[in-house]
Chain A
Amino acid sequence: MRVSCLQENLAKGLSIVGRAVATRSTLPVLGNILLEAKDGELRLAATNLEIGVNCWIGAKVEDEGAITVPARLLAEFVNSLPAERIDMELAVRTQTLHLRCARIEANMKGIDAADFPIIPTAGGGHEIEESTEILEGTRIELEPAGLRKMIDQVAFAASTDESRPTLTGVEVSFNPERLSMAATDGYRLSVRSIVLDKASVKEPMTVIVPARSLGELARISADADEERPVQVIVTQSRNQALFQIWGKPEARSSFHRVELVSQLIDARFPDYRAIIPKTHTTRTVVDTAALLKAVRVAFLFARDNANIIRLAVVPGNGEKEGQVRLTASSQEMGDNVNELDALVEGTDLEIAFNARYLIDVLSQIDQPQVVIETTQSTRPGAIRPVGLGEEEFLHVVMPMHPPR
């Protein structure tokens, strides 16, 4: 293998695949990154068997070939190089990769590329050989920015507790006209759905994608070409989903394309529709930014007291406007009161929420106003942005029951 590429591109590629490298594994090869020079591109690949990432960057290939080298060493080395051309050459007999950039040279001992697990690909026009596996399945195209926003609005609600693996995932349902995502950790629920403009889905399909994989996808797609759709391939038989993201048009590109393959969670997602409140007795419309700011201030006092903040909602009467009073207090720190003007319909109510959860959801809402729908202090509250359709975005959060 003999290949050269630019330091910025290699560093970017390594940071993309680096997140999939297994940190603690019994398999030494999983701690490595695969470098494969072929067809005028350099492929970087890493996997922890749960997520696999392939990233193709532009390179000048003189001799084709492949090797795996320790991920941390390579990434830290490349990051400390000047922004110039890097030449790499593989000594096949010793499986050692020689790198040269400006006046710096290095040799890295690698592991044979044949020992690296096969990461399936979507197939990009290159010929197929023994070590590639093309993933077959339902193909869907999505717009990168919309997808990213959806992930941001849903994935944070997923659980991080490994003892309930199903809840660490996001339920993704494809219908002929809609795509919806839902995640819950048992205390809050986030549901987002968008209209699919092209009828690319023939049959409804529901899968659970690990929230971590979607988070990775959102992170990678931030550098994507917004004009080209993200290809999604789902194979239920292999229990995998593949996301193909295209890099920015040639001149400014740091990568050509990235493919992220994620294992799916093979389980039934709980029926969250049952916990969405059907009715409400109090409906509060409030300015999103003002509420977020008030919650952040209250959080300073609440964080020592289980993040509890109380919302007292008072409806307006003829001459006075409706109000939301936020209070937070802790024995050691003191207390804080914040009043906001609001449009309140229905009865007055006092309810306590986890400040962290409110911050999480409010910071993902772009619309200027939100609606909070509540019934009693012991029943979940529903939060939705004003201006989006009923079905578009809904967040349900369980109240807290602080001691009186």
Chain B
Amino acid sequence: MSGTQLPAEHHPAHPSWPVFGHEWAVEYLQGALEAGHGEARRRGPRHAYLFLGPAQIGKSTLVRAFAQALLCTGDGTRPCGQCRSCRLMSSGNHPDFRLVQPVTTGGEIDRAGGMLRVEQASAVIHDAALSPVEGRYRVFAIQDAHRANDSFSNKLLKTLEEPPEGVVICLTAADRGSLLPTIISRCEVLELRPLPVAKAKAALAAGWGVTAERAELLARLCNGRLGWAVRQLGDEAAETQRLDMLQELWRLAAASRVERLDFASAAAAQRENQQLFAMLEAWGTWWRDVFLAQNGCLDAISNVDQRAEIDRQAGALPEASVRRFLDTLQRVERYLHHTVNTRLAMDVLLLELPRLPA
């Protein structure tokens, strides 16, 4: 997510915020910022915010931008991008900004498998008691609050409810369901929504200088998560990986049961969880495209570079089997996040895969 930090010269959502999209949230936070300046009857920033939304949608980018604006010491519109505070913020060395990320038991940062632990909560409480070093605020960004263990959350409650003056705590999380209600009720909740395709495309073109064709494809594939698209840009192997994944899928669709089960066992045994989910996501996008094509919505598809193949498969397959597979795929994906036998789940999924005539 941190990869979506923009070069300073592009400020599409708000003249000075280094964020694309989420205009309403930026405007809202900017309002809180300006209220903090002067006028007594309007309130300044709240003590705690909770940013909700799927991974890589831009939560942490927004938190950083908000922190930069809060800590900015420049005159006029904040963040100014010029002052010492803004410079420290972009080099990641601002002493009043503290990022808290899930860690393994050994203390290594691990956002996929780590947790927010109780020692980190103690450190936050301790640091929150200190007054700001350079500015007027101390900003804590607690990333992936859905990966907090209960003792972390409970330890933080008192500070989250009534932090010392000048402390702003920003939490990010995937969804409400995975947080303690006591955490949610102590925060102002901002639910970020996926970026529309047109905006994502414009952002990719303006911020990263992506060609129109590629921007179109990535904007459609990313499902409104700009961070995902940006990561694909940075990863040179990503494009060939995606094509390999699709070709494998086509091969499997035409393959016998034995081959499919072979693949299922290999997938369950070898792959890293994250890779497995990335593959399932790509599959979902593909069959959704086929389903859209079958229903005469070829314009809405994501894999725009594979239009001909989508059209061919749409013609060759019965609509009911594609829909059934999409249902199964969703269910299996959900189960896999909990404790199921990966091998069995993959077997079921592969057997349900629509059969293309060879």
Residues of A within 8 A of B100 (CB): 26
A162 to B100, CA, bound (A): 19
Report yes or no: A49 in contact with B93, Cβ–Cβ below 8 A.
Answer: no
Report yes or no: B93 in contact with A115, Cβ–Cβ below 8 A.
Answer: yes
List CB contacts (< 8 Å) of B37-95 with chain A: 84, 87-88, 91-95
Residues of A within 8 A of B164 (CB): 266
Among listed A27-35, A80-88, A342-350, A379-387, interface-contacting one: A27-35
Tell yes or no: B99 within 8 A of A by CB.
yes
List CB contacts (< 8 Å) of B111-165 with chain A: 122, 126-127, 129-131, 133-134, 164
Report yes or no: B129 in contact with A29, Cβ–Cβ below 8 A.
Answer: no
Knowing A27-B93, A28-B93, A29-B93 are in contact, say whether A265-B127 is a contact too (CB < 8 A): no
Tell yes or no: B307 within 8 A of A by CB.
no
A27 to B129, CA, bound (A): 18
Report yes or no: B98 in contact with A165, Cβ–Cβ below 8 A.
Answer: no
Q: Give the interface SS of chain B, mostly helix, strand, loop or mixed.
A: loop
Residues of A within 8 A of B84 (CB): 114, 130
A257 to B134, CA, bound (A): 24
Knowing A26-B99, A162-B122 are in contact, say whether A114-B131 is a contact too (CB < 8 A): no
A301 to B88, CA, bound (A): 56
Contact count A vs B, C-beta below 8 Å: 41
A158 to chain B, nearest CB (A): 16
Report yes or no: B88 in contact with A49, Cβ–Cβ below 8 A.
Answer: no
Q: Give the interface SS of chain A, mostly helix, strand, loop or mixed.
A: loop
Tell yes or no: A240 within 8 A of B by CB.
yes
Report yes or no: A238 in contact with B131, Cβ–Cβ below 8 A.
Answer: yes
Residues of B within 8 A of A29 (CB): 93
Residue in contact with B131 in the complex, picked from A30, A165, A266, CB distance below 8 Å: A266
Q: What 1/0 flags go to A110-128 for Cβ under 8 Å of B?
A: 0110110110000000000
A239 to B132, CA, bound (A): 10
A140 to B87, CA, bound (A): 36
List CB contacts (< 8 Å) of B288-341 with chain A: none
A130 to B164, CA, bound (A): 29
Report yes or no: A30 in contact with B95, Cβ–Cβ below 8 A.
Answer: yes
A28 to B99, CA, bound (A): 12
Report yes or no: B88 in contact with A115, Cβ–Cβ below 8 A.
Answer: yes
Knowing A162-B122, A266-B164 are in contact, say whether A27-B95 is a contact too (CB < 8 A): yes
Report yes or no: A115 in contact with B131, Cβ–Cβ below 8 A.
Answer: no
Residues of B within 8 A of A175 (CB): none
Report yes or no: A266 in contact with B129, Cβ–Cβ below 8 A.
Answer: yes
Residue in contact with A239 in the complex, picked from B94, B122, B127, B131, CB distance below 8 Å: B131
Tell yes or no: A392 within 8 A of B by CB.
no
Residues of A within 8 A of B127 (CB): 49
Knowing A238-B131, A263-B131 are in contact, say whether A115-B91 is a contact too (CB < 8 A): yes
Report yes or no: B134 in contact with A118, Cβ–Cβ below 8 A.
Answer: yes
Knowing A27-B93, A27-B95, A115-B88 are in contact, say whether A49-B122 is a contact too (CB < 8 A): no
Report yes or no: A265 in contact with B129, Cβ–Cβ below 8 A.
Answer: yes
Report yes or no: B95 in contact with A50, Cβ–Cβ below 8 A.
Answer: no
A27 to B99, CA, bound (A): 9
B89 to chain A, nearest CB (A): 11
A112 to B84, CA, bound (A): 13
A117 to B130, CA, bound (A): 15
Report yes or no: A49 in contact with B130, Cβ–Cβ below 8 A.
Answer: yes
A50 to B133, CA, bound (A): 9
B270 to chain A, nearest CB (A): 35
Closest to B99 in A: A26
B128 to chain A, nearest CB (A): 10
A263 to B126, CA, bound (A): 12
Residues of A within 8 A of B (CB): 26-30, 49-50, 111-112, 114-115, 117-118, 130, 162, 165, 238-240, 263, 265-266
9 residue pairs bridging A and B, Cβ less than 8 Å apart: A27-B92, A30-B95, A49-B95, A49-B133, A115-B88, A117-B133, A117-B134, A118-B133, A118-B134
